Chains A and B, each alone.
Chain A
Amino acid sequence: MTAFNEMLLASFTTPMHVDTNPVSMLWLLPLLVSFVVVYKATKVYKIRPYPFIRESAVLFGSILAFIIVIALVLYGVTWIMTDQLPALLNKSAF
Chain B
Amino acid sequence: MAQSWKDNHALYLVTIGLLAWLMPGAGHIMLNDRRRAAVIGVTIILTFLVGLYLGSIGVIDPVGAKPWYVAQIMNSPVVFLLGRLSATGSFPVYGRPNEIGQIYTSTAGLLNLLCIVNAIHMAHMRVTERTDD
Interface residues of A (CB under 8 A from B): 11-20, 24, 27, 30-31, 34-35, 37-39, 41-42, 47, 52
Number of A-B contacts (CB under 8 A): 73
Residues of chain A contacted by B95 (CB below 8 angstroms): 18, 20
Q: Digit string of B91-133 for contact with A (CB within 8 Å is 1, else 0)?
A: 1010111101101100110010011001000000000000000
Interface of B is mostly: helix
Which residue of chain B lies nearest to A43 when distances are taken between CB atoms in the complex? B118
Q: Flag whether B13 is at the interface (Cβ < 8 A).
A: no
A52 to chain B, nearest CB (A): 8
Interface locus among B4-12, B39-47, B62-70, B72-80: B39-47
**Residue B50 lies at the interface, judged by CB distance under 8 Å to chain A:** yes
Inter-chain CA distance A18–B95, complex, in Å, is: 9
